[in-house]
Structure 1
Amino acid sequence: MANPFFSILLPSRNRLELLKFAVESIVDQDWRDLEIVISDNASEPSYAPYVREITGLSVNYIRSTETLSVTENWNKALDAAQGQYIIMLGDDDALTPGCLRRLAKTIQKFNGPAVLYVMAYHYAYPGVHQWAPQGYLAKVNNSVVFVEASGPYELPRDQARQLGIDGLHFRHNVSFNAQHFIWKREYIRERSRIVPFFQSPYPDYFACFVTFLTAPRIVVVPTPEMIIGISRQSFGFYYSNDKQDEGFQQFHAKENFVNGSAMSGRDVRAALGAPGSQHYRNWLLAALSAKNALGDLDGVEVDLARYLKLQSYEHHKKKRFPRTWTIDEAKALRTQKKALKSRLYRAFFRLVESLDKRTILPIAYMTPRKMANFGLYHPSVVDFQEIENHFNILDAYNWIKRRNN
């Protein structure tokens, strides 16, 4: 299909069963002016036989012959897209029922803005979170731009710019996930002047910073239009279970992101070498990459002092065992601490369930270990949905569809 209205990008590797659910959420839409771009990252076996089974929609299937990083595969999918507007949908994510028609209507109402920024549901598969072993579906209001918004509106340019700067200053006043964005392809290729559009080990963080700093018009949609999936194969699982290093190796094992003029200098090198969280280091790399891509854009600086403060906290909160302790004693203490942590998670979740369904969480979305976050996150309002007997994200999609009918 030449120049469809939407290009829905589905980069994936060895997760065909998850990708099928994402595709089903697209096939079920009541809007057909679209293409699906499936970028198969050297999966074994190939996705080709499944792709041939998809009928009724335009599908652009591309396959890498060797394994790429997540960032490289995202860019490969984007390069293949021909649509007027781009949606980056992870293979464990889904659209909401009827969202494409609603989004197209909003785009037309606001005369073709460069970007839509939308709210989302979160769907956690069973077994992902210790504090919610059965999984959940929740409407998550986790961005300052959604506060008190009664409908779509155009974000003031100075506020958008400040939100981009906040990201470089290690403040989450909006969610950085790519699923919140619908980008105009013309903006990506001509107005942003960023090539490639996805960079760093956190390509969604990078694109978020660049978007808020450079997009001429951003329209906020304060209703959940996407379902962000958290599966056991996603980085969200590694992150929420303190396995960030393992997740990084899983998705970016071969790529070196320390390059460019913004990566040079004694202070930057010292920050990159500071002990602490791999998550914050990846955030720093995304921020430095954005600074490097934007050049001398006025007021765009990375707050290294705040970064070092965060990393210092992360490093020093991990207590070391005395050298005189035996291995068995250390393991026993770890087991006790793990059991206590599990009990605390369960107690925390029971407390949340006992409160009103719309529960304000002043932290990074249901993560008790991040209480001391230095104002890191905008307070989230999490509205848990009463979904039962669910096993995958398509169950959540169908539950939303039944509720809306």
Structure 2
Amino acid sequence: MPQPSVSVCIPVYNGERFLAETIRSVLDQTYRDFELVLLENASTDASFDIMRSFSDPRIRIERNPSTLSQPDNWNRAVELCRAPLIKLVCADDLLHPRCLEFQVGPMEADPGLAVVAARRHMIDEQSRVIVPRRGLAGLLGVRTSVEVARRVVRNGANPIGEPGNVLFRREHFFAAGGWREDRRFIMDLDLWMRLLQYGEFLGLPETLAAFRIGRGSVSAENEQEIYDEQRLLIEELGESAHFQVRGLDLQVGRLLAPAGRARRQALFAISKLSARRDDRKQSESMAAGASD
């Protein structure tokens, strides 16, 4: 098949609950010149059967013979991609139908761009929006890597976002070293900053993706590790000659890191509350049906 302009890859491990919805959100893109690489990571659920239920010719299904770690699996997903532009989508997240349309154009028009990001909704297990239009505060428009680094350090969290709302170049990914095993809980932000050593950043004002916060998500279950790795990244950026982070930026970032942690904890708490409410309604509905 001819090389597509964009590769969207979805690494999957036991993702049966939301996988079909995620795949449909990719296939429903208004921009059509893409391939969808589905990498099944030796799951024990019905993920592979769900993948095979789709017959779109743009889909390519791959399987790992044994389960890889998340960083290794994500790296292999990108390795399997053929296009010069890459988007990785987690198996429970969603894309807006115009996500690729809005992001591909700027990347093709400006070879100096290394990363294009958009805002995203935070959604719960029922795909309801918990927090709308999140991210990219102070990062809209074209920004240099120095500007982005200073904003990231001062933010104390991840103002750019997760893989689903970001588009990057395949050549930069391999030049930067890919997803890092020792940054498992902030793999996305760590990679974005290394990619920005090769070009500039574009922040789009549109909301083009949705990041799901579920009870069993990696983010929800490893908040302390996220916080620790975030603080390490802040210090690394401060020591980098390339990013020119100032002492004042570091001081602000160290002070605001607990606030970034508090924001994450609040999101996890809202998601859990929403899930418990849904469980209660389901139980009440089942009880009412039994009494009938």
Q: Distance in 2 between matches of 1:53 and 1:215?
A: 39
Post-superposition shift, 1:22? 0.6
Distance 1:44 1:364, change over 3 A: same
The alignment partner of 1:105 has SS state of helix
1:235: Cα distance to partner?
A: 2.2
Contact preservation (8 Å) 2:14, 2:44: yes
The aligned residue for residue 364 of structure 1 is: 263
What are the residue-to-residue correspondences of 1:157-236 with 2, within 5 Å? 157-163=145-151, 166=153, 171-172=156-157, 174-189=159-174, 193-199=175-181, 200-202=183-185, 203-212=187-196, 214-236=197-219
Is 1:155–2:151 an aligned residue pair? no
| Contact kept in structure 2, 1:37 and 1:61, CA below 8 Å | yes
Match of 1:283 among 201, 214, 230: 230
TM score, norm. by length of structure 1: 0.55
SS of alignment partner, residue 208 of structure 1: helix
Q: Residues 5 and 297 of structure 1: is their aligned pair in 2 closer, same or farther, counting only changes over 3 Å?
A: same
In structure 1, list runs of 5 or more residues that go unmatched. 127-133, 245-276, 315-360, 371-390, 392-405
Structure 1 match to 2:52: 52
Quick one: distance in 1 between partners of 2:217 and 2:180? Answer: 18
**Preserved CA contact (<8 Å) 2:143 2:200:** yes
Q: How far is 1:172 from its partner? A: 2.8
| Counterpart position of 1:339 | none
After the TM superposition, which residues 242-253 of structure 1 pair with which residues of structure 2 at under 5 Å, given as runs? 244=223
Match of 2:104 in 1: 104
Distance (Å, rounded) in 1 between the aligned partners of 2:125 and 2:21 = 13
Per-residue Cα deviation, 1:163-206 (whole angstroms, up to 9, x for no partner): 35x17xx72372442233210213223xxx32234442221131
Residues 95 and 164 in structure 2, CA contact (< 8 A), matched pair in contact too: no
User: Aligned partners of 1:114, 1:64: CA distance in 2, in Å?
Assistant: 29
**Superposition deviation, residue 14 in structure 1:** 0.7
Output the CA distance in 1 between the equivalents of 2:148 and 2:254.
26
2: CA distance, partners of 1:22 / 1:369: 21
Give 2:65's aligned amino acid: T
CA-CA distance at 1:15 after TM superposition = 1.2
**Secondary structure in 1 matching 2:138:** helix
Q: Deviations 1:285-315 (Å, cap 9, x if unpaired)?
A: 6567x67xx987575799999999899x89x
Tell me, which stretches of 5 or more residues in structure 2 are unaligned? 270-277, 279-292
Distance 1:285 1:14, change over 3 A: farther
Distance verdict in 2 for CA 1:49–1:279, change over 3 Å: closer
Task: Give yes or no for the alignment of 1:238 onto 2:221.
Answer: yes
Aligned to 2:29: 29
Segment of structure 1 superposing worse, 178-187 or 13-22: 178-187
Counterparts of 1:25 and 1:300 in 2: how far apart (Å)? 38
Q: CA 1:236 to 1:161, structure 2 compared with 1: closer, same or farther past 3 Å?
A: closer
Residue by residue over 1:255-299, the C-alpha shift from the partner in whole angstroms, topping out at 9 and shown as x without a partner, is: xxxxxxxxxxxxxxxxxxxxxx333223346567x67xx987575
The code of the aligned residue for 1:163 comes to R
Q: Distance in 1 between matches of 2:232 and 2:82?
A: 30
Counterparts of 1:382-397 in structure 2 under 5 Å?
none
- Structure 2 counterpart of 1:57, one-letter code: P
Contact persistence 1:11–1:77 (CA under 8 A): yes
Q: Paired residues, what number?
A: 266
Q: Contact (CA 8 Å) 1:125, 1:136: kept in 2 or not? A: no
Q: Distance in 2 between matches of 1:101 and 1:225?
A: 10
CA distance in 2 between counterparts of 1:195 and 1:308 reads 27
Matches within 5 A, 1:218-367: 218-238=201-221, 244=223, 277-284=224-231, 297=242, 299=244, 364=263, 367=266
Looking at structure 2, the residues matched to 235 and 140 of structure 1 have their Cα atoms a distance apart, in angstroms, of 22
Task: Please name the residue that 1:118 is paired with.
Answer: 118
Change (3 A) 1:121 1:29: same
What secondary structure sits across from 2:67 in the alignment? coil
The verdict on how the C-alpha distance between 1:33 and 1:173 changes in structure 2, with shifts beyond 3 A counting, is closer
Alignment check: 8 A CA contact 2:136 2:160 kept: yes
CA contact under 8 A between 1:119 and 1:222: conserved in structure 2? yes
Q: Distance in 2 between matches of 1:181 and 1:158?
A: 19
TM-score normalised by the chain length of structure 2 = 0.74
